[in-house]
Structure 1
Amino acid sequence: MTPAHLQIAQLYQQHQRAVLATLIRLLGDFDQAEDACHEAFIAALAQWPEQGVPANPRAWLVSTGRFKAIDKWRRHQHEHSMAELPELADETEEQDSTLLSDDELRLIFTCCHPALSVEARLALTLREVCGLTTEQVARAFLQSPVTVAQRIVRAKQKTRAAGIPYQVPSDQQLPERLDAVLKVLYLLFNEGYHQSS
């Protein structure tokens, strides 16, 4: 592995969850954001060893992922129908590192929305925000990976179908929503402390 590839691997470890959180905000869909995030890192692997790492790699990855998703929607639109592209969030804010951090906070509260069951909230947050594998989440719940994977898929579908907003709750809603977030942090601490893998 070349030094450039090692640097990209390190940047993946540092920024992948934040890039994903911002892409979920911009694209409004977990699965499309995950695909776009992976495509952005693939593009980085292809370009950065020759062109160098950009000054703001996280913003580059977000922008590249967003454009990859738009290209995919356009190809799909061209092949299947003349439907409009989904409405995307404004990308002009994505350069702000504070907003990127806020996107992670928004994602935690979106994953912990009361419309989801407590088990779904915890599994979805540990998987999507914290980056634990499905197997690690299953060990934390003492359940099979298949059960947890199905729970995560259903939670994503419900989030999309119910139109759960991608936002930090208001001051009035915060007390009822904070408990699930604190449970997630506790389980994440346990996973880090006991290192089940």
Structure 2
Amino acid sequence: MVIDREAIGRIFRTESGRSVAALVAMFGDIELAEDAVQDAFAIAVRRWAADGIPPNPGGWITVTARNRAIDKVRRDARGNQLLRATTMEPAAAVPDDRLRLIFTCCHPALAPQSQVELTLRLLCGLSTADVARAFLTTEPTMAKRLVRTKHKIKAANIPYRIPADTELPNRLRAALATVYLTYTTGYSRSPDLSEEAIELGRMLRLLMPDEPEVAGLLALMLLTQARRPTRTDGTGELVLLRDQDRRQWDRDLIREGHNLVRWCLHRNQPGRYQLEAAIAAVHADATTFADTDWNQVLTLYDQLIAIATTPVVALNRAVAVGEVHGPAQGLHEIDQLNLPGYYPFHAARAEFLHRQGHTDDAARAFDTAASLAPEGPERRYLQHRATTT
């Protein structure tokens, strides 16, 4: 039987985080858990080639990884002691396992960049090479950084648990960023991973029901997910927001997202995710792209940039400026920014140049954007625009 390696790759991205979380819960050792899950997937490639992919591949991986981990600790000098402390029930990741792993990865003893790197590797199922590309470094360098971070967790005896209520506020920002990172990673790579992130968002909402930013993040993910069916066409090519068939947007997700946004507004404690969710709600309200209330979008971006002064937020605000005040003003705002390695920056410049009739400059900007974009629909779209503008 020929094994579908692409299918196994999707399973790894979707299930590896669950399996690692389950094994960390059992053994309390991140490196042991990660190594065992890697071994289980290596075994899966061989076994599934002969037997086919099982009905519950995630459960198969977790059980196989658990058995590999047990074999390893039995060979270790302190293995019997560890096994006595280990639950021996059949392995199945419970939802809290992933939350515990998120809070472990996001412990304040770790540097913010280390938190993100480890989360991408453990929870999002990205390879070390993929994480290295995300941070513009080499795979060996990233491998060393990840090893150092895991060793720091062990040396500092960072607990694998959900923080106490008194600790949650100080740990929340990193946890929210981690869940959103999981969502955005899945949005471009794996639909199942995005669903996992939404589930994690719902868990955080249950854990902290009175926290507006938790509700804001969940609303943002739901409103974005509602548009997902129309993001690409039947051939897998990119469809811009202006061209999407809004009749196919998921109205149940939009309704839920709107309710959460309204709940946040009543709390009057605006934060980054709440404002981004409000912007997404404005887009969801418009029956056509032309009906979008760009003045409201720009007002919300003005509030957002006051509390999240980042170049990416500034770029999104500049696009809104261009929609409200015209492409020349939008281009002026964009050209104040310094984002040479960020492909949406060049794509936005190209669009406003094109609207002003500067076709040669627009084509060059589209070409630059295409060269920086990841493989997939975005790159193909930008390459097409570069050759047809």
Specify the code of the residue in structure 1 equivalent to 2:22: T
How many residues of Structure 1 are paired with residues of Structure 2 in the alignment?
Answer: 190
Q: Which of 148, 158, 182 pairs up with 1:164?
A: 158
Structure 2: gaps (5+ residues)? 189-342, 344-372, 376-389
Does residue 176 of the first structure (1) align with residue 176 of the second (2)?
Answer: no
- 8 A Cα contact 2:131 2:142, kept in partner: yes
Flag the 1:58–1:187 CA change in 2: closer, same or farther, 3 A. closer
Report how far residue 47 of structure 1 moved.
3.4
Deviations 1:155-196 (A, max 9, x none): 100111122111122222111111112333455538966764
Once the two structures are superposed, the pairs formed by residues 3-152 of structure 1 within 5 Å of their partners are 8-51=8-51, 53-77=53-77, 84-87=80-83, 88-92=85-89, 94-95=91-92, 99=94, 101-142=95-136, 145-152=139-146
Relative contact order (alpha carbons < 8 A, sep ≥ 6): 1 or 2 greater?
Answer: 1
Percent identical pairs in the alignment equals 41
Flag the 1:149–1:126 CA change in 2: closer, same or farther, 3 A. same
In structure 2, how many angstroms separate the alpha carbons of the residues matched to 1:143 and 1:5? 26
Specify the code of the residue in structure 1 equivalent to 2:82: P
Whichever of the two has the greater Rg, that structure is: 2
TM value normalised by structure 1: 0.75
Structure 1: gaps (5+ residues)? none
In structure 2, how many angstroms separate the alpha carbons of the residues matched to 1:186 and 1:20? 19
Bigger drift between 16-25 and 85-94 goes to: 85-94
Deviations 1:89-132 (A, max 9, x none): 3142734x6x1x32222111110011212222222112222223
The CA RMSD measured in Å over matched residues stands at 3.2
In structure 2, how many angstroms separate the alpha carbons of the residues matched to 1:114 and 1:91? 31
TM value normalised by structure 2: 0.42
In structure 2, how many angstroms separate the alpha carbons of the residues matched to 1:185 and 1:83? 34
In structure 1, how many angstroms separate the alpha carbons of the residues matched to 2:88 and 2:107? 25
User: Following superposition, which runs of at least 4 residues in structure 1 exceed 6 angstroms of deviation?
Assistant: none
In structure 2, how many angstroms separate the alpha carbons of the residues matched to 1:124 and 1:192? 19
- 8 A Cα contact 2:73 2:79, kept in partner: no
- 8 A Cα contact 1:73 1:85, kept in partner: no
Flag the 1:32–1:150 CA change in 2: closer, same or farther, 3 A. same
Flag the 1:4–1:126 CA change in 2: closer, same or farther, 3 A. closer
